[in-house]
Amino acid sequence: MTRFALTIEYDGRPFIGWQRQAHGPSVQQALEEAVFAITGEEAAVQAAGRTDAGVHATAMRAHVDIAKPITPFRLMEALNARVRPAPVAVLAAEEVADDWHARFSCIGRHYRYVIVQRRAQLTFEHGLAWRVTTPLDVAAMQAGAARLVGRHDFTTFRSAHCQADNPLRTLDRLDVVADGARIDVYASARSFLHHQVRSMVGCLALVGQGRWTPDDVTEALEARARAALGYNAPPDGLYFIGADYPAG
């Protein structure tokens, strides 16, 4: 049995999320069915993060155990051939130690959220970015983001359905970067709560619109109550962009 680490890119629009579920297609299901077609093995593909419906990835990390002899390159090529026409691509595959786990070995996760400021509807980026029709004050958003960095109780910023035992998280990075009409929000932490990034971005957008101040972000955080949340941004603009693992 060989454990392979995979780096995966996908468009989340056709899927109900990463995790296999009975009521719709998932990224995990698409990959596991491809593995079965190649090897005849019912192998689980475990990921670093369980993205929601409509959320995308440019570099999701995952692993799968396969008994059939196969090289990493041949596995990557075969998966890409079999997973079609689903919008999923395996960018890399490598053999790893048996105790390497895409989720439990991960020590850092990175997301990007894409906002486009324009009144006209999105064409090429429809479903791939959040269209905001009013100009946003990026400096104010940056000030609001600074209030969330560090170790906090993020109860306000997690889904009511979040299954995490503890709402305490250490947010290492929350940067707001503007490039013309486009705004990218970068978030990094060892782990995130369900909907945490989308909830934070939604509140930062309120700050950018002048409907909230950075002090309102602090008040929402300190309330430790979902009812204090201003807005939950849509999944369209959210991308899982990387995962960190211990060296060696």
Would you say 34 and 85 are in contact if contact means Cβ atoms under 8 Å apart? no
Cis check: omega of the bond before 72, within 30 degrees of 0: no
Q: Which residues are known catalytic residues?
A: 52
**Closest C-alpha to 219, from 174, 157, 165:** 157
CA dist., res. 198 & res. 162, Å (int): 13
Which residues are CB-contacts of 85 (< 8 A; sequence separation ≥ 6)? none
CA dist., res. 146 & res. 90, Å (int): 35
Exposure string for 40-70, b = 16+ CB within 10 A, e = fewer: eeebebbbbbbbbebbbbbbbbbbbebeeeb
| Distance of alpha carbon 86 from the chain centroid | 19
CA dist., res. 73 & res. 195, Å (int): 35
Token couple for 48: 């670093």
**Closest C-alpha to 100, from 1, 244, 190, 3:** 3
